[in-house]
Structure 1
């Protein structure tokens, strides 16, 4: 992901977002962490932390809890060294009886001159999918390309 460097154009920002989506969907914590500077500042909901080791530890715990994780990211806005992303992901919550949930959210990314992210701010909200979290109405079912799922206001 670091080969796409600021200043961003619409085309390079779009490519950066989809590359990030694809890498996150591997659920390989160490691989994901390579996209960030060693001192990257993260905010995820109400958690704040800095640095590669913290990022890897956070992601390992995240994907242990969030089973069957599937993510979609879309470009929201961009500037010279900033990208804003809207995202949706679905998962089975291992801490909540394996109920299906979907997270809706926004991310604010800031990059250094090498193309690595130096700041990532995430806000998101989880909702259960289907009655009692049974998964009825999931978007990102097995075999579906997350990029092909039509997402509009009707789905919220």
Structure 2
């Protein structure tokens, strides 16, 4: 592979797995589909809800569609478990549709990484909950979540 490795590399420790999760969260909150797609291996496979994707181009196209529909997107990920080259994550994100209706989407992801630190497999299960705007919990400015903002456990999610 001619690309520089995506640190940290497997096998993961508690510290490096948590670092990988936060790096992914920050990238997704940046909402740059091309940049986010570079964290995945060129032949990465995904299952996202009922969509099956393969490769960076399909991932970038998917993320472009996603963030054009899910407005004011804010995401928090939390490490659930890890071993070797695999990480399990739980997450929640808030967003609104074009009509101004707010949602909190909850889910779990299973990740598998290659030896260069690129994600080669992502399996995501996600459920959407309509919420009132006043029930939103993710209020930071667009971009990465501030370091001092509560995580999922602290928010009771």
Task: Report the TM-score, using the length of structure 1 for normalisation.
Answer: 0.89
Taking the aligned partners of 2:112 and 2:136, their CA distance within structure 1 comes to 31
Is the alpha carbon distance of 1:77 and 1:150 closer, same or farther for their aligned partners in structure 2, counting shifts above 3 Å?
closer
2:50 to 14, 33, 46: 46
Taking the aligned partners of 2:73 and 2:17, their CA distance within structure 1 comes to 24
Taking the aligned partners of 1:25 and 1:125, their CA distance within structure 2 comes to 19
- In structure 1, runs of 5+ residues without a counterpart are none
2:134 to 133, 136, 141: 136
Q: Corresponding residue for 2:86?
A: 82
Is the alpha carbon distance of 1:154 and 1:90 closer, same or farther for their aligned partners in structure 2, counting shifts above 3 Å?
closer
CA contact (8 A) 1:33 1:56 kept: yes
Q: Corresponding residue for 1:69?
A: 73
2:108 is equivalent to residue 106 of structure 1: yes
CA contact (8 A) 2:78 2:152 kept: no
> What's the CA shift string for 1:129-155, capped at 9, x where partnerless?
12xxxx111010144738623545985
Task: Report the TM-score, using the length of structure 2 for normalisation.
Answer: 0.89
2:10 is equivalent to residue 9 of structure 1: no
Q: Corresponding residue for 1:117?
A: 119
2:128 to 126, 129, 132: 126
Q: After the TM superposition, list the runs of 4 or more consecutive aligned residues in structure 1 that deviate by more than 3 angstroms.
A: 142-147, 150-156
Q: Please provide the CA RMSD for this pair.
A: 1.9
Taking the aligned partners of 1:145 and 1:112, their CA distance within structure 2 comes to 29
> What's the CA shift string for 1:48-85, capped at 9, x where partnerless?
11011100000000000000000000000001000000
